[in-house]
Amino acid sequence: MTMRIKKLILHRLQMPLKEPFKNSLTTTTHKDFTLVELIDESGLRGFGETVAFRSPWYTEETSDSTRLMIEKHLCPIVKEQPYEHPSEFGKRIRDVRRNNMAKAAVEGALWDLYAKKENVPLYKLIGGVRSQVRAGVSIGMQDSISTVLEEIEQALLAGYERVKLKIKPGNDIALIEAVRNDYPDLALMVDANSAYTIDDIEHLKQLDKYNLLMIEQPLGTDDFVDHAKLQQQIETPICLDESIHTLSDVKTAITLGSCQIINMKLGRVGGFTEAVRIHDYCRENGIPLWGGGMLEAGVGRLQSLALATLDNFKFPADTAASDRYFKRDILRQPVEVDNGFIHLSESAGIGHDIDREALRLYRVEKKVLT
């Protein structure tokens, strides 16, 4: 079905987090992002959101760079020609290097719009095989181990099935030891956000006795070779997150043996088309996936959940309920966790309506491009 984009609206939103979220590199207090709204000639609307953070600690992209990239470079392209399918967007923006989170926000809006046009849920359109996703939580760094233990207790009471701890040198072994003492059978993993180097191999070997599901991104974002060396020395599976931007990165990682698991994030790989290609390649090569979170607001949250319904997603996602991070989400029906699962809507597209009042509440800038 042909899709012609008539109008784009860029909403810049600033949503305060209920509590600051801290990892080895930064503390996030607000989610500052762009909600992309595409409107076609029949008046249908598709939504996507940028997931980049305010500073470039995670990847090189930021809230500001994604907004600029969308406005100056992607918006003019998105309206140029009609679409038979949203995957055509990737071919049209081949000359825009990297900037994957900016691309994913626009591409995500195209997919949502297309799914609404076809009157199918987005997750089914991309090939999802389940209508529910097991939910896990990521617990940011806290001032004390006892606070982490309290957070875990609350997460388990709320029904979450898997816990991820943020670690760094000096905030790792004692923390994991304490958690394992209290929760010997908990599905537990850790994420270092590149806090270690190859010189820490002996130190990281200590993790092997704690039966962790994985250690995520222990080394630098482009250290494929060093991750491979580390994986040869430790039993805990390495999961790559920040390193993976393209299918080509995945091929490098698998060829070198840099990881056993990949954390796939829609924004980081530039949208659904590339994400599905990576998913299929990983499935063929025996590398399971799971989906981490980017402190997304509602639209990004629903799109990450749609991706996590593909069959090679094997671990509970980091995509928690809306109310874990925000007092009020931008959806009329917020994302909720029910007995450890998030159920996806069977309505067309992302399946939830935008809460326009919340949009006005958080909006600091609005640009209409026709």
Give 251's contacts (C-beta < 8 A, 6+ positions apart).
Answer: 281
Whole-number minimum distance, CB 206 to Mg ion, in Å?
20
Q: Is residue 216 part of an annotated ligand binding site?
A: yes
Whole-number minimum distance, CB 81 to Mg ion, in Å?
37
318 binds Mg ion (CB under 5 A): no
Residue 106 to residue 73: CA distance in whole angstroms: 11
Whole-number minimum distance, CB 138 to Mg ion, in Å?
8
195 and 24 Cβ atoms separated by less than 8 Å = yes
Listed ranges 12-20, 233-241, 273-281, 325-333: which one lies at the site for Mg ion (CB under 5 A): 233-241
Whole-number minimum distance, CB 110 to Mg ion, in Å?
27
241 binds Mg ion (CB under 5 A): yes
Residue 53 to residue 190: CA distance in whole angstroms: 21
Whole-number minimum distance, CB 23 to Mg ion, in Å?
8
Give the DSSP per-residue string, 121-153: BHHHHTT---SEEEBEEEE---SSHHHHHHHHH
Listed ranges 48-56, 208-216, 231-239, 272-280: which one lies at the site for Mg ion (CB under 5 A): 208-216
**307 or 358: CB nearest Mg ion:** 307
Give the DSSP per-residue string, 307-342: HTTSTTB-S-BS---HHHH-SS-SBSS----BTTEE
C-beta nearest to Mg ion: residue: 241
**46 or 140: CB nearest Mg ion:** 140
**How many CA atoms are closer than 13 Å to the CA of 329, on its beta-carbon side?**
23
β-bridge mates for residue 338, sequence order: 341
Listed ranges 10-18, 146-154, 210-218, 298-306: which one lies at the site for Mg ion (CB under 5 A): 210-218
Q: How many residues bind Mg ion (CB under 5 A)?
A: 3
Q: Is residue 107 part of an annotated ligand binding site?
A: no
Q: Is residue 241 part of an annotated ligand binding site?
A: yes
**250 or 344: CB nearest Mg ion:** 250
**99 or 193: CB nearest Mg ion:** 193
191 binds Mg ion (CB under 5 A): yes
**241 or 249: CB nearest Mg ion:** 241
β-bridge mates for residue 134, sequence order: 341
Listed ranges 73-81, 195-203, 214-222, 310-318: which one lies at the site for Mg ion (CB under 5 A): 214-222
The residues carrying an active-site annotation are 166, 265
Whole-number minimum distance, CB 250 to Mg ion, in Å?
16
Write phi, then psi, for 7 (nearest 5 degrees). -150, 145
Closest alpha carbon to 218 in 27, 26, 28, 24: 24
C-alpha dist (Å) from residue 333 to 100, 117, 171, 298, 353: 28, 21, 37, 9, 7
Applying the rule CB under 5 A, the residues between 56 and 115 that interact with Mg ion are: none
Q: Terminus-to-terminus CA distance in the chain, angstroms?
A: 22
C-alpha dist (Å) from residue 124 to 37, 115, 135: 21, 9, 19
**112 or 216: CB nearest Mg ion:** 216
Residues annotated in the binding site, as ranges? 191, 216, 241
Residues annotated in the binding site for Mg(2+), as ranges? 191, 216, 241
The site for Mg ion (CB under 5 A) is made up of: 191, 216, 241
